[in-house]
Amino acid sequence: MLTETKITKKISEHKELIAALFSGLLIAIAWTFENHLSDALWVTLHLVAFVIGGYAKAKEGITETIRNKDLNVEMLMIFAAIGAAAIGYWTEGAILIFIFALSGALETYTMNKSNKEISSLMKLQPEEALRMNGDQKEMVTVSSLQIGDMIYVRAGERIPADGIISRGATSIDESAITGESIPVRKTENEEVFAGTVALDGSIYIEITKAANQTLFQKIIQMIQSAQDEKSPSQLFIEKFEGAYVKIVLIVVVLMMFIPHLLFDWTLQESIYRAMILLVVASPCALVASIMPATLSAISKSARAGVLFKGGVHIENMGHIHAIAFDKTGTLTKGKPEVTDFHVHPDHKQEDVLPIAMAMEQDSTHPLAYAIVTFGKQQQIGTSLQDIQVSTLTGNGISAVIEDETWEIGKPDYIGYEADFEDITKQLASEGKTIVYVKKGQQIVALFALKDTVRKDSIQAIKLLKQHGIHTVMLTGDHDLTAKAIAEEAGIDEYVANCLPHEKVEEIKKLKGKYQHVCMVGDGINDGPALATANIGIAMGEGTDVALETADVVLMKNNLSKITNAIHTSQKMNRVVKQNIFFSLAVIAILIASNFLQILDMPLGVIGHEGSTILVILNGLRLLK
């Protein structure tokens, strides 16, 4: 039963191709046994070939003509095939239908190939989940899960919804989301995503997003939107198609009589040449020049973790001359890290660091988290418990430990120490945040923290500059930090203390100078700038506002993927230009040959439809 289902599914997927091939088989039989078949049977075989091969395209052409109230290339091919048969060229008319059906099947294959990216993604998200109901577990549909529900995921199972781990720990295979093959260790209070796999531990997850709002679903929706949205080139061709078809039909009607009246052609010759013109002047190859290439490029980019929301964006990507980057979370990791730790000569690291960790371990402040993380990386533990920590609003924290007052905070509040003066100035000049640790009246240690530049950011900037693309950093941070980050990343120029509306103004200035400008960001404050730029790119870990506003999403948060996207766009634009030039050249040569009376119907059919197949195959190369 399963085998029959698979066979039925395969037949359904490839029905256009099967119909085209069967049509071709009937034509081959009629041609091979022409001398042994009665005229009625010979004509019947061709009629069946016409119907089977041309049904899909005829239905599409008639439906679109009625809906749009405008003629299209499919209708032109129907007229051409009927015209060829009407003057006795049954085989040529049938071959025309066969090759046109074959090219249509190839175009459908391109669409199906693109849709498989969505299908394979959708299969990765479970349809059911184990929801906790008190101490009991109940199997429910994923669509019925609500925010705040607790679900249980066993080791080896796919996570059905986005959420936060409330209990347990496991290694997570996030390749479906990020493309990274190395599992990530996740513990309590860390975020997990639908479609990823809990490898070696069972976990309890508190749902944080509705089933239709998960990161996974957003990926699917963005790919679907990208397939539906057409590029400027495609829209132009579609507008051109309607007018072109009318002109061809008018010229064909005129050619049926004018050459007979003016050039002493026989009426039969005039009608014959008019039918050939109807075949060779059809813009099939021109119409097929863009969409297969665009869909192939979108699919290829999606596999690489770059999601385009439409053909217009992938076409424009190759024209970018300048790129503006947000700093925090885009060029940098978005989280401060301890880069330097200095202890006073009178004290030891193993004495100071455990106390600093103990004081900061319950704080949610990013700097506190960075200090605790640094201590763990140094394999420093702390046995201090139940410390009463007081918050020094906006300045730091304090605690009494073994009758000694300890403080951690800003130098401006804690005070300065001569032994740390030089190192403090040096680290501050590098754009780092300084935090002092004070015991009693003496400063005993110094932490320097910084939002560090992503490793891939430096490589990405280098590659972009090699391609002649101007790079700019727009940040709300102060000048000292902005300068340090820009120099480390290799950015051409930077603008510091930049508020959201000022980012928009900077983007407008760049557009005035470079015409085609891209903005890359991840935060709510980047939304206006992302919308203003010719191309807005959001980091996959960015806010919902950034993801919704952007034209492109980097799912792997890897800026070097921008260069890949530009390459794909430029290659797609080259392929489209090749296809358009080739298809127009073929049409011109065939029309000229027909007027010179050196082209017959069979060669006209093969030349015209062969060019259509070639441009579709050329577009499919982008899938590699």
530 vs 512, more confident: 512
462 and 416 fall within a common domain: no
Asked if residue 485 and residue 404 are part of one domain, the reply reads no
Q: Same domain for 420 and 314?
A: no
Asked whether the beta carbons of 207 and 147 are under 8 A apart, the reply is yes
CA dist 16 and 54 (Å) reads 10
What percentage of residues in the chain have a pLDDT greater than 90? Answer: 13
Three-class SS state of 187? coil
Q: Is pLDDT of 394 > 70? A: no
pLDDT in the model for residue 544: 64
- pLDDT score at 589: 93
Provide the domain count of the chain: 3
pLDDT at 180: 46
Characterize the bridge pairing of strands 163-168 and 136-141.
unpaired
Tell me, yes or no, whether 170 and 312 share the same domain.
no
What pLDDT score was predicted for residue 281? 83
Residue 543 sits at the vertex; the CA angle it makes with 540 and 545, to the nearest 5 degrees, is 110
Mind listing the pLDDT tens digit for each residue in 464-523? Answer: 999 899 999 998 777 888 888 899 899 999 998 887 778 888 999 999 999 999 999 887
User: Is the confidence at residue 112, as pLDDT, over 70?
Assistant: no
Token pair 């794909």 is found at 568
Distance CA 86, CA 275 (A): 10
**Residue-wise over 60-99: b if at least 16 C-beta within 10 A, else e?**
ebeebbeeeebbbbbbbbbbbbebbbeeebbbbbbbbbbb
Per DSSP, the three-state class of 278 is: helix
Greater confidence, 71 or 21? 21
Looking at residue 2, its pLDDT comes to: 43
**90 in a domain, yes or no?**
no
pLDDT of the residue at 1: 42
* Span 197-216, average pLDDT: 83
Pairing of strands 470-474, 322-326: parallel
Q: Give the per-residue pLDDT at 6.
A: 57
Distance separating alpha carbons of residues 344 and 440, to the nearest angstrom: 14
CA dist 56 and 77 (Å) reads: 12
**CB neighbours of 378 closer than 8 A, spacing ≥ 6?**
349, 353
Are 536 and 530 a contacting pair, CB within 8 Å?
Answer: yes
Packing angle between helix 291-303 and helix 601-620, nearest 10 degrees? 20
Tens-place pLDDT, residues 270-279 = 888 888 888 8
Does residue 467 share a domain with residue 325?
yes
Collapse the DSSP code of 266 into the 3-class scheme (helix H, G, I; strand E, B; otherwise coil) and give the result.
coil
Both 346 and 445 in one domain: the answer is: yes
Q: Is residue 486 part of a domain?
A: yes
Residues 562-590 have pLDDT tens digits of 888 899 999 999 999 999 899 889 989 99
Q: Both 341 and 323 in a single domain?
A: no
Q: Is 467 found in the same domain as 536?
A: yes
In the block, which residue shows the tokens 């320097």? 448
Averaged pLDDT score across all residues of the chain: 81
Query: Which CATH number goes with the domain that contains 429?
Result: 3.40.1110.10
- Note whether residue 605 is domain-resident: no
Mean pLDDT, range 74-93, rounded to an integer: 78
Evaluate whether residue 550 is within a structural domain.
yes
> 210, 228, 248 — which closes off a domain?
210
Residue 583 to residue 231: CA distance in whole angstroms: 19
Q: Which residues pair with 197 in a beta bridge?
A: 158, 173
Residues 501 and 425 grouped into a single domain = no
Quick check: helix, strand or coil at residue 333? strand
Which of 164-178, 432-446, 518-532 has maximum average pLDDT? 432-446
Q: Is 326 an active-site residue?
A: yes
Range of the domain at 151: 146-210
Decide if 400 contacts 388 (C-beta within 8 A).
Answer: yes
Q: What are 254-307's pLDDT values in tens digits?
A: 988 888 888 888 888 888 888 888 888 877 777 778 878 888 888 888 878 888
* Spatial distance between the Cα atoms of 342 and 444, rounded to a whole number of angstroms: 9
263 lies in some domain: no
Q: Name which of 567, 502, 527 is nearest 314 in CA terms.
A: 567
In angstroms, the CA 613 to CA 607 distance is 10
What's the confidence (pLDDT) of residue 512? 92
Is residue 55 included in any domain, yes or no?
A: no
C-alpha to C-alpha distance for 405 and 441, rounded to whole angstroms: 9
Residue pLDDT, tens place only, 134-161: 888 899 988 888 999 999 999 888 888 8
Find the largest Cα–Cα distance for the chain.
118
Chain-centroid distance, C-alpha 580: 25
Quickly tell me which residue has 């980097």 as its tokens.
554
In this structure, the answer to whether residues 497 and 395 fall within a common structural domain is no
- Between 6 and 332, where is the model more confident? 332
Q: Higher confidence at residue 379 or residue 421?
A: 421
584/100 Cα distance (integer angstroms) = 17
Q: Is 57 within the bounds of a domain?
A: no
Integer CA distances (angstroms), 351 to 313, 346, 348, 386, 570, in order: 56, 11, 5, 18, 58
Q: Which two tokens stand for residue 456?
A: 């891939």
Backbone angles phi, psi at 326, to 5 degrees: -70, 160
Q: Is the pLDDT of residue 114 over 60?
A: no
pLDDT at site 533: 87
Instruction: Look at residue 457 and give its three-state secondary structure.
Output: helix
CB count within 10 Å of CB 281 equals 23
- The residue-averaged pLDDT of 541-546 equals 64
The length of the chain is: 624
Q: Do residues 490 and 548 share a domain?
A: yes
Say if residues 378 and 405 touch (Cβ distance below 8 Å): no
**Position 431 in a domain:** yes
Q: What is the pTM of this model?
A: 0.64
Which is catalytic among the residues 326, 451, 477, 526?
326
CATH code for the domain of 488: 3.40.50.1000
Specify the pLDDT at position 120.
55
Residue that is last in its domain, among 451, 473, 499: 451
How many CA atoms, within 13 angstroms, populate the side-chain half-sphere of residue 481? 22
Of 451, 480, 495, the last residue of a domain is 451
Handedness of CA 488, 492, 495, 500 (dihedral sign): negative
Q: Which residues contact 504 (CB under 8 A, 6 or more apart)?
A: 528, 529, 532
The pLDDT of residue 179: 42
Kindly give the residue spans of alpha helices, DSSP state H, lying in 342-443.
Answer: 349-360, 366-377, 411-414, 421-429
DSSP characters for 96-121?
HHHHHHHHHHHHHHHHHHHHHHHHHH
Query: pLDDT tens digits for 211-253?
Result: 777 766 665 665 555 445 555 665 666 666 667 778 888 888 8
- Kindly state the DSSP code that residue 391 receives in the 8-state scheme: E
Q: Among 564, 570, 509, 504, which residue's Cα sits nearest to residue 536?
A: 504
- CATH of residue 182's domain is 2.70.150.10
Q: Looking at residue 9, what is its pLDDT?
A: 61
Closest-CA residue to 190 (of 227, 159, 230): 159
Q: Which two tokens stand for residue 276?
A: 């050939």
Provide the CB-side half-sphere exposure for 475 (13 A, CA): 25
